Amino acid sequence: MNIYELHEKTWKQLDERRDRLPHALLLTGQRGVGKFDLARAFAESLLCENPLPSRVACGACSACGWLAQGNHPDFRQVQPGALLDEGDDEDGREREAGDKKKPSQQITIDQIRALDEFLHVGTHRQGLRVVLLHPAEAMNRSTANSLLKSLEEPVPGTLFLLVSNEPERLLPTVRSRCQRLSVPVPEPSCAQAWLAAGGVKDAARWLALAGGSPLLAAELGAGGARALLDALVTELAKGQRIDPLAAAAAVDRAVKAEKRPAPLKRLVEWGQKWFVDLTLLRAGQTPRYFLTQTAPLTEIAQKTDLPRLLAFNRKALQYRTQCEQPLNSRLFLEDFFMSCAALFEPVRDRHG
Ligand SMILES: [Zn+2]
């Protein structure tokens, strides 16, 4: 099962635009929903020299070959350097120990300026050029303004495909130059079938934890991500019996062993979801993310109260900001677990 079957409706909307392409399309939707893969599949189908009757790329012609190798002369993919690294990391490749330069989290103005030449030489193949830019919110104002020039004076036969998790962070002038297409979260049954076809076990569990985003769920379901998650959940499930320093030590070992980027960020996001579930249960509602942990969550929820949970959820936003900075993971985790323990302290002057 592939991405256009997962997002059949959006694919159809894209397909309808094929013969009268706008200058710029903006695909929006929540993280991990599959927007980027969909945009990429659409670009491939446009540049393919011999599309299948269903109008998807053939995967066999020379254009498809160049796209796969990343050297199609009429295609540019623009994304932050850090994301390229993350992409590599999915194959389990480690960054070299001696590599000190930090990849950019942003699309740089140089990357946008470098498009100029690409946009102003003739196309090599079908008379169509495609620029895929992702995530579009990863541009500062001057970079976005530089892009705006190309959007305002569109070069014929050029399609800009912008993909964004947070379109509200785009310059309004950029947004208004694009035809917008929102990519909804697929039906759970469809997403589960897609995950199962991709060999993901416990699809429903991961899908819930990913808030319905199938690509995020696939990442969670992949073995590598689980050690970290399990370490965290083991500690959080101790509830009122959590020992903050021991928990920090245990989870920090998992963080240090983690090969994939931004382990703390993922931990904080999961932690946040754990406490959202706890808050929902305390308020007598159904948990949303940790479907297989309902029993321990229900028990723990009774040991704290809503005001403290809500205060913790606000604090979790600070943790999210903090963990973007380089920091001592052990100290960060100690602070995090001490806040968790404080949720269950029966009296104010007692220490967990
Ligand atoms: Zn092809």
- Cα(69) to centroid of ligand 1, in Å? 13
- Cα(20) to centroid of ligand 1, in Å? 20
**Going residue by residue through the chain (352 aa), what tens digit of pLDDT does each one get?**
789 999 999 999 999 999 899 999 999 999 899 999 999 999 999 999 999 998 999 999 999 999 999 999 999 999 998 777 544 433 333 444 444 466 787 899 999 999 999 998 877 776 899 999 999 999 999 999 999 999 999 888 999 999 999 999 999 999 999 999 999 999 999 999 999 999 998 899 899 999 999 998 998 888 666 888 999 999 999 999 999 999 999 999 999 988 777 789 889 989 999 999 999 999 999 999 998 899 999 999 999 999 999 999 999 889 988 887 778 999 999 999 999 999 998 755 545 4
Of 158, 182, 206, which residue sits at a domain end? 182
Q: In what order do the strands lie in the sheet with 179-182?
A: 75-78, 129-133, 158-164, 24-28, 179-182
What does the alpha-carbon distance between residue 64 and residue 46 come to, in Å, rounded to a whole number? 10
Q: Does residue 144 sit in the same domain as residue 12?
A: yes
The residues near 98 (Cβ < 8 Å, ≥ 6 apart) are: none
CATH of the domain at 51: 3.40.50.300
- Cα(122) to centroid of ligand 1, in Å? 21
Q: Does residue 31 sit in the same domain as residue 128?
A: yes
With helix as H, strand as E and coil as C, how does the chain read? Answer: CCHHHHCHHHHHHHHHHHHHCCCEEEEECCCCCCHHHHHHHHHHHHHCCCCCCCCCCCCCCHHHHHHHHCCCCCEEEECCHHHHHHHHHCCCCCCCCCCCCCCCCCCCHHHHHCHHHHHHCCCCCCCCEEEEECCCCCCCHHHHHHHHHHHHCCCCCEEEEEEECCHHHCCHHHHHCCEEEECCCCCHHHHHHHHHHCCCCCHHHHHHHCCCCHHHHHHHHCHHHHHHHHHHHHHHCCHHHCCHHHHHHHHHHHHHHCCCCCHHHHHHHHHHHHHHHHHHHHCCCCCCCCHHHHHHHHHHHCCCCHHHHHHHHHHHHHHHHHCCCCCCHHHHHHHHHHHHHHCCCCCCCCCC
Q: Does residue 323 sit in the same domain as residue 247?
A: yes
Report whether 174 contacts 144 (CB < 8 A).
yes
Count up the domains in the chain and report the number: 2
- Cα(222) to centroid of ligand 1, in Å? 30
What does the alpha-carbon distance between residue 142 and residue 296 come to, in Å, rounded to a whole number? 50
Q: What's the confidence (pLDDT) of residue 92?
A: 37
Q: Does residue 37 sit in the same domain as residue 173?
A: yes
- Cα(350) to centroid of ligand 1, in Å? 67
Q: Does residue 172 sit in the same domain as residue 232?
A: no
- Cα(48) to centroid of ligand 1, in Å? 4
Q: Answer positive or negative: Cα dihedral of 255, 258, 259, 261.
A: negative
Q: What's the confidence (pLDDT) of residue 93?
A: 38
- Cα(60) to centroid of ligand 1, in Å? 5
State yes or no: cis peptide before 135, omega within 30 of 0. Answer: yes
- Cα(42) to centroid of ligand 1, in Å? 12
Instruction: Give the residue from 35, 83, 30 showing the smallest Cα distance to 262.
Output: 83
- Cα(53) to centroid of ligand 1, in Å? 12
Could you tell me if residue 349 is inside a domain? Answer: no
- Cα(158) to centroid of ligand 1, in Å? 19
Could you tell me if residue 216 is inside a domain? Answer: no
- Cα(161) to centroid of ligand 1, in Å? 19
Q: Does residue 233 sit in the same domain as residue 91?
A: no
- Cα(71) to centroid of ligand 1, in Å? 14
Of 125, 150, 182, which residue sits at a domain end? 182
- Cα(57) to centroid of ligand 1, in Å? 5
Cross-strand partners of 164: 28
Could you tell me if residue 10 is inside a domain? Answer: yes
Q: Does residue 136 sit in the same domain as residue 271?
A: no
Could you tell me if residue 309 is inside a domain? Answer: yes
Q: Does residue 252 sit in the same domain as residue 178?
A: no
Q: Answer positive or negative: Cα dihedral of 251, 207, 2, 124.
A: negative
Question: Which residue range is the domain that position 22 belongs to?
Answer: 3-182
- Cα(58) to centroid of ligand 1, in Å? 4
Q: Does residue 27 sit in the same domain as residue 96?
A: yes
- Cα(52) to centroid of ligand 1, in Å? 8
Could you tell me if residue 243 is inside a domain? Answer: yes
Q: Does residue 178 sit in the same domain as residue 326?
A: no
Could you tell me if residue 297 is inside a domain? Answer: yes
CATH of the domain at 244: 1.20.272
CA distance from start to end of the chain: 49
Length of the chain: 352
70, burial (CB in 10 Å: exposed 0-12, middle 13-18, buried 19+): exposed
Residue type, 292: T
Q: Does residue 176 sit in the same domain as residue 248?
A: no
- Cα(33) to centroid of ligand 1, in Å? 25
- Cα(46) to centroid of ligand 1, in Å? 9
**Longest CA span, the chain:** 73
Could you tell me if residue 131 is inside a domain? Answer: yes
Of 182, 203, 235, which residue sits at a domain end? 182
Could you tell me if residue 191 is inside a domain? Answer: no
Q: What's the confidence (pLDDT) of residue 290?
A: 94
Q: Does residue 142 sit in the same domain as residue 230?
A: no
